[in-house]
A and B are shown apart, each in its own frame.
Chain A
Amino acid sequence: MLLEAQDIGFRYSKGPWILRGVDMHIAQGEIVGLVGPSGCGKSTFGRILAGYEWPLEGHVTLGGEPLPTAGYQPVQLVFQHPEKAVNSRWRLGDTLKEGWVPEASLLEALGIEQEWFKRWPNELSGGELQRFCIARALGPKTRFLIADEMTTMLDAITQAQIWHVVLEIAKKQNMGILVVSHEWNLIKRLCSRIIELSIVNRDRE
């Protein structure tokens, strides 16, 4: 199954085009890096791939079909700032079970403690919250994961711990991953292919 973006064009209201004529594809089981300078539209592109934004031009398809608009989203996005990606009025146990109910072994592998379920988001650190966001996104129906600076805010040990778990699950579930990052060493370590958005985005005004 392929996640494909064809001839994507996007801008916010009447602003300049952020993306124009962008083509890209990821196969299941493939880990691809997306790099480019700040403000070149990497995060916007990630949001389009995961169905958070609709492209003004072109289209995104999953296995040849448009992305589903209802039910479980098979393309999951994990954001850089977890504190902005969880509902501050929900206890974390509820946030975790939003899309599916992760089994105990996954929670243990990600270092999520049962005791945290009753906590509010402002009571945990960014690193701890990010573990919840990752567990939430790794459901059995997830085909592709967009990791937008997923471990940028974390220390090296936590970063390595989390990626080892994510890679193992991706392999088991034959998931494709798009790694959006500024950290060249991380991209080189994880990805078999690298896309430079500023080159693919050639029609940008």
Chain B
Amino acid sequence: MRWIKWIKNRFIPSKPESVVGLSWESADFGGAETGSKTVLEVEDLSVSFVQYEKGLQQKQMKVISSLDIAINRGEILAVVGSSGSGKSLLAHAILGILPENASVTGSIKYNGKELTLQRQAMLRGNEIALVPQSVNYLDPLMQVGAQVRTGIKNGDALAVQREVFDRYQLKPEVDRFYPFQLSGGMARRILISTAIVSDAQLVIADEPTPGLDPEVVEETLGYFREMSARGCAVMLITHDIETALKIADKVAVFYAGTTVEVAPIENFSGDGEALRHPYSKALWRALPQNGFMPIPGAQPMPNNLPEGCLFAPRCSMATSECSIKQPKVRKLRDGMVRCGHAT
């Protein structure tokens, strides 16, 4: 009966267990001038996986817990966190491509309207596009030109595809290449082309730059800047703060499946004193150019989350109350934080 529960969860949003005490409209900053509008709004999102332990004994694994995030038109939001912090799962939840044993609570709104499974199926690949991590997401047996054309719904598909390839300096013979013939940089441009031709209003890019040399990284980021300049909302998922800071308007820091802080990029400077959450500060100070000082310990596993604040076991500021209850997100200066002690 798992699927009944799953469908119920998706179509009849249950009342959130905790109400986040603020609206994202009021929390807008940066590009919040008149005319800016929220394209994507995620509120109190939780994702759990059902796992069978022994026989029919089930266990819930909470991989995302009460996560909040919002992106406006023309804005680039970087989602930064370590592997296993739930970044990619958030992308999959927005697109509605989570595996079947996932159960989702909370709300995801696109242009102000709740994203149901049907709307997700209708919008993904059209208005909401994913730039996947690697060429492994392409069909290995299909020429790349033809693959990009499948995303074009209006007009002369060949002409549109050629125009985009031209813009990215992909020569006509590349149309007939198979994925294995592409170099790293070419593959990156093809993957981004698939998002561009789709006329997307929301682009989710999952780790588009690791292992590329600085020139190619710069070029890739340029494509995202171009998209946001056309009014597209861009969500850039990365584990690399430096890449995020080169391009984003604001940064959401993820830890153990939740947002611990949302900060404008100017806050990432100096000793990190302008940052709000102890984890963001630790992340900033661990960079090779900022001291290279790690904090001990590791991010908790989803099947072994602490009771209260998820960061408390590693936090030097933690008090006894931190280990009792998970702090709620609150507005602080021109950003957000999930920590009772942050000032």
A residues sitting closer than 8 Å to B (CB atoms) are 36-39, 80, 111, 125-127, 149, 152-161, 163-164, 182-186, 188-190
Q: When the two chains form the complex, which single residue of A127, A164, A185 contacts B287, counting CB atoms closer than 8 Å? A: A185
Name which residue of chain B comes closest to A112, CB basis.
Answer: B298
B26 contacts A by Cβ under 8 Å: no
B295 contacts A by Cβ under 8 Å: yes
Report B79-95 residues with CB < 8 Å from chain A CB: 81-84
Q: When the two chains form the complex, which single residue of A80, A153, A186, A190 contacts B239, counting CB atoms closer than 8 Å? A: A153
| A149 CA to B184 CA, complexed, in Å | 15
The 3 closest A-B pairs by CB, nearest first: A155-B82, A160-B294, A189-B288
Q: When the two chains form the complex, which single residue of A160, A182, A188 contacts B293, counting CB atoms closer than 8 Å? A: A160
Name which residue of chain B comes closest to A163, CB basis.
Answer: B292
Closest chain-A Cβ to B15's Cβ sits at a distance in Å of 33
Report B134-192 residues with CB < 8 Å from chain A CB: 183-185
Q: Mark B210-228, 1 if CB is under 8 A from A, else 0.
A: 1111111000000000000
| A157 CA to B212 CA, complexed, in Å | 21
Closest chain-B Cβ to A103's Cβ sits at a distance in Å of 19
| A81 CA to B97 CA, complexed, in Å | 25
Name which residue of chain A comes closest to B284, CB basis.
Answer: A156
Closest chain-A Cβ to B280's Cβ sits at a distance in Å of 11
Are the CB atoms of A126 and B294 closer together than 8 Å?
A: no
Q: When the two chains form the complex, which single residue of A152, A153, A189 contacts B292, counting CB atoms closer than 8 Å? A: A189
Number of contacting residues on B, CB 8 A? 31
Q: CB-CB < 8 A to B242: which residues of A?
A: 185
| A159 CA to B289 CA, complexed, in Å | 13
| Interface residues of chain B: helix, strand, loop or mixed (majority) | loop
Closest chain-A Cβ to B285's Cβ sits at a distance in Å of 8
12 extra A-B contacts, CB within 8 A, seeds A39-B184, A154-B82: A38-B185, A38-B212, A39-B183, A125-B83, A126-B83, A154-B83, A155-B83, A157-B82, A160-B294, A184-B214, A185-B287, A188-B288
Q: CB-CB < 8 A to B81: which residues of A?
A: 155
| A103 CA to B296 CA, complexed, in Å | 19
Q: CB-CB < 8 A to B210: which residues of A?
A: 152-153
Name which residue of chain A comes closest to B239, CB basis.
Answer: A155
Closest chain-A Cβ to B243's Cβ sits at a distance in Å of 10
Are the CB atoms of A157 and B282 closer together than 8 Å?
A: yes
Q: When the two chains form the complex, which single residue of A125, A156, A164, A190 contacts B84, counting CB atoms closer than 8 Å? A: A125
Q: Mark B283-317, 1 if CB is under 8 A from A, else 0.
A: 11011110011111110000000000000000000
Q: CB-CB < 8 A to A160: which residues of B?
A: 286, 288, 292-294
Are the CB atoms of A152 and B211 closer together than 8 Å?
A: yes
Closest chain-A Cβ to B117's Cβ sits at a distance in Å of 27
Closest chain-A Cβ to B80's Cβ sits at a distance in Å of 8
B241 contacts A by Cβ under 8 Å: yes
Q: When the two chains form the complex, which single residue of B83, B211, B214 contacts A127, counting CB atoms closer than 8 Å? A: B83
Q: CB-CB < 8 A to A164: which residues of B?
A: 292, 294
Q: CB-CB < 8 A to A37: which residues of B?
A: 213, 215
CB<8 Å pairs between A and B, sample of 17:
A36-B213, A37-B215, A38-B185, A125-B84, A153-B239, A155-B82, A155-B83, A157-B282, A157-B283, A157-B295, A158-B294, A158-B298, A159-B286, A161-B294, A185-B287, A185-B288, A185-B289
